[in-house]
Chain A
Amino acid sequence: MRAAVLLSVEVTLARLAGRISRLTGAGGGTTLPGKLLARINPDALGSLAERLPLGSAVISATNGKTTTAAMAAEILGRRLRLVHNRAGANLVSGVASALLGRRNADLGLFEVDEAAFPEIARRIRPRAVCLANLFRDQLDRYGELELIAERWRATLAALDPAAYTVLNADDPLVANLGRGRQRVVRFGLDDPGAARERLPHAADSKYCVDCGTPYAYEAAYMGHLGDFRCPACGNARPPLDIAARSISLLDLEGSRFELTTPDGSRTVELALPGLYNVYNALAAATLARVLGATLDEIVAGLGRFRAAFGRFERIQVGDRTVLMLLVKNPAGANEAVRTLVDGGPPSLAILALNDEIADGRDVSWIWDVDFEPLAECLDELVVTGSRADELALRFKYAGLDETRMEIVPDLGRALDRGLELTPPGGELPLLPTYTAMLALHRIAADRGLVRPYWESAA
């Protein structure tokens, strides 16, 4: 009894801190209440999660977790009251803040940082876990992929035996986590027509997890994701429970595919372009299904879904549109570039590179991105952010003439310059790293173009 009273006092204090953070303009209060609560009572996260009658589901991946979680919320949100860290605050503090911010929810739906997944899963004991991909990302912060996979494996081993594990079968390292486990549901693409000719430059995990031989790909879809098989020992992509077939990518407007499930097949219309969003939709559909969603709910929810914050988000600025695509690692940036170029090669773009902890302090990853197709079609490029010069160098050595580049480190001024160069009615692609995206969003909010992220997150 005393513990329960204490917890509610702590919860009240922490909620108050979030309100103060918003009122004083310090931020969105999406992490502060959780940080405070963790300081007062580290076990509070588990206690709060325990109160959810339908438990929690957790999504982790290098790329796509914000979009996947938002898609799952769209599918499930009409029937269930969800608590969801929609603003992308995905460390322990963000999940705790989300739990503090919503009373009387039925189900917790949380995207979690790859490195934070073990601790969050241990504390909130999810009834379903969705692990969607592992790409090289911020090696200065996360360490090597194998190490993350090993920590994930240990985390899965400690889950409640009744918990579901949703895995991307196309990612060798992730698929391998399902071996020997019960209640595993696997998703993947099944459309050789959507495959790439070859693996991209910076493909990871392309050597057999068992014997080290390079995988042969029946179809390579994105990074090292695909229908893989080891020619030496036979380790191969496991059979798919949920698949996407007959995929049509409709330029920058969206995509369409056949969602194949044990309950039948249905056509899904997505308002988001790019193969990576087909993967996100599959992950969300599979997770929603193990959480009880019907096929009708899944198809309708995915059809209703619009871009998550900063991820292929369109912002209207007078008679011009800014198209914001978050980029944060080679695999994600490659998909953003390819989707843009395939959707009608842009002649103008803004790229923004910051090097805060959340962006990765090591900026070498920009050299692993295949920026060359973009460099080829651009007439003008505005580079910005605290490491704008490094981006300029990247494009200089990709073959873009220096006279076609403007280096404008200040984000607001770069945005103005980009808009100035955009013809009326035109669309301006803007590719920022994480903290640059947040800062640009704040600039757009200050100008009244978008709502602050903590409001759209409510």
Chain B
Amino acid sequence: MKVVVGHLYPDYLNIYADRGNMAVLARRAAWRNIEFDYRVVGFGDSLRPGEHDLLYIGGGQDREQALVAPDLAGRRAELEEAIEGGAAALAVCGGYQLLGQFYRDRSGAELPGAGIFDHYTVAGERRMIGDVLLECELGPDARGTIAGFENHAGRTTLGSNAVPFGRVVAGFGNDGESGFEGCRRGRALGTYLHGPLLPRNPWLADWLLSQSMARRLGEPPPLAPLRDEIESRAHEVASGRAFSRGGRAN
């Protein structure tokens, strides 16, 4: 078995330890003898139709995001084709924003988005910073809590048909008001949560791996369970942090 991963702009978008997410996917694949074929997608590299099983895009500082945005927005058609073709995707923080319709900063200037997710983002006065806990249901056998950390000025508003990634139990989420966090389109997920996201939420890492393989197999295969004791304890501590000091919507 094999999973081909395309990591978009890792040199530019890596602010909140995105490579931790990649390390978790790679190790959890290797422990199950699944080949993890990691490929970088940089400026001007085209996405060949059907090449990737999983696409990943992380977050960057404002300057890096502005450098990347025009190139990414120009990929709308090829990203659309990859997602429609069954590729799974994970977009974190800035990457999540840039896969929406647009990002408008404090001065009113807009960065174009790739339009994969039906949402738009407008920078707010105050950054929303803190630990977060979500409840997510991605399928009958894929539900659970997700513990992470958020740090964003953008308020993201979902379109009327958009599905959130999760419901906020503690923390701010997309906009600090709606109670929603992130966005989901089939196997493609977008979220503000870093920390990084996957190490202390191993069930989500496995869901992504399995969904990535579903593109070739037709169905998501079951994965052999792993010993996740440290992961569970880290999840527990982080969940506690979200309750005790996560952001509060006003």
Chain A residues proximal to chain B, CB less than 8 Å = 136, 139-140, 143-146, 201-202, 204, 206-207, 212, 214, 355, 361-368, 386-387, 389-390, 392-394, 396-399, 402, 407
Smallest CB gap from B235: residue in A: A389
Report how far A368 CA is from B27 CA in the complex, Å.
17
Contact, CB under 8 Å: B127 / A392 = no
Complex contacts, A393 vs chain B, CB 8 Å: 199-200, 230-231, 234
Report how far A402 CA is from B226 CA in the complex, Å.
13
Report how far A397 CA is from B142 CA in the complex, Å.
23
Interface size on B, residues (CB 8 A): 36
- A6 CB → nearest B CB, Å: 37
Q: Which of A364, A389, A407 is the one whose CB lies under 8 Å from B196? A: A364
Interface pairs (11), CB distance under 8 Å: A139-B15, A139-B151, A140-B151, A206-B11, A207-B67, A361-B149, A361-B241, A363-B195, A367-B199, A390-B199, A397-B27
Smallest CB gap from B197: residue in A: A364
Report how far A366 CA is from B199 CA in the complex, Å.
12
Complex contacts, B19 vs chain A, CB 8 Å: 201, 367-368
Complex contacts, A136 vs chain B, CB 8 Å: 15
Contact, CB under 8 Å: A364 / B230 = no
User: Is there a chain A Cβ closer than 8 Å to B181's Cβ?
Assistant: no
- A-B pairs under 8 A by CB, number: 92
Contact, CB under 8 Å: A367 / B23 = yes
Complex contacts, B103 vs chain A, CB 8 Å: none
Complex contacts, B62 vs chain A, CB 8 Å: 144, 146
Report how far A387 CA is from B237 CA in the complex, Å.
8
Contact, CB under 8 Å: A389 / B234 = yes
User: What 0/1 pattern do residues 1 to 18 of B give for CB contact below 8 A with A?
Assistant: 000000000011011110
Most buried by B among A146, A212, A361, A362: A362
- A176 CB → nearest B CB, Å: 13
Smallest CB gap from A399: residue in B: B27
Contact, CB under 8 Å: A366 / B17 = yes
Contact, CB under 8 Å: B61 / A392 = no
Contact, CB under 8 Å: A368 / B151 = no
Complex contacts, A145 vs chain B, CB 8 Å: 61
Contact, CB under 8 Å: B129 / A397 = no
User: Is there a chain A Cβ closer than 8 Å to B245's Cβ?
Assistant: yes
Complex contacts, A204 vs chain B, CB 8 Å: 61
**Given A390-B200, A390-B234, A397-B27 in contact, is the A364-B241 Cβ separation under 8 Å?**
no
- A345 CB → nearest B CB, Å: 22
Report how far A144 CA is from B15 CA in the complex, Å.
10
Contact, CB under 8 Å: B61 / A144 = yes
Contact, CB under 8 Å: A364 / B195 = yes
Apart from A136-B15, A361-B245, A386-B237, 9 more pairs, CB < 8 Å: A144-B62, A362-B16, A363-B149, A365-B17, A367-B199, A387-B237, A390-B237, A397-B23, A398-B23
Smallest CB gap from A330: residue in B: B17
- B200 CB → nearest A CB, Å: 7
User: Is there a chain A Cβ closer than 8 Å to B105's Cβ?
Assistant: no
Contact, CB under 8 Å: A140 / B14 = no
Contact, CB under 8 Å: B17 / A392 = no
Complex contacts, B130 vs chain A, CB 8 Å: 140, 361
In chain B, residues 224-249, which have Cβ atoms closer than 8 Å to a Cβ of chain A?
A: 227, 230-231, 233-234, 237-238, 241, 245
Q: Which of A214, A361, A389, A399 is the one whose CB lies under 8 Å from B230? A: A389
User: Is there a chain A Cβ closer than 8 Å to B20's Cβ?
Assistant: yes
Complex contacts, B23 vs chain A, CB 8 Å: 367, 397-398
User: Is there a chain A Cβ closer than 8 Å to B131's Cβ?
Assistant: yes
User: Is there a chain A Cβ closer than 8 Å to B48's Cβ?
Assistant: no
Report how far A201 CA is from B16 CA in the complex, Å.
12
User: What 0/1 pattern do residues 24 to 39 of B give for CB contact below 8 A with A?
Assistant: 1001000000000000
Q: Which of B16, B24, B61, B129 is the one whose CB lies under 8 Å from A364? A: B16
Contact, CB under 8 Å: A368 / B17 = yes
- B228 CB → nearest A CB, Å: 10
Contact, CB under 8 Å: A397 / B199 = yes
Report how far A361 CA is from B242 CA in the complex, Å.
11
- A136 CB → nearest B CB, Å: 7
Contact, CB under 8 Å: B234 / A362 = no
User: Is there a chain A Cβ closer than 8 Å to B64's Cβ?
Assistant: yes
Q: Which of B16, B64, B127 is the one whose CB lies under 8 Å from A143? A: B127
Complex contacts, B238 vs chain A, CB 8 Å: 390
Complex contacts, A139 vs chain B, CB 8 Å: 15-16, 151
Report how far A393 CA is from B17 CA in the complex, Å.
14
Complex contacts, B67 vs chain A, CB 8 Å: 207, 212
Complex contacts, A397 vs chain B, CB 8 Å: 20, 23-24, 27, 199
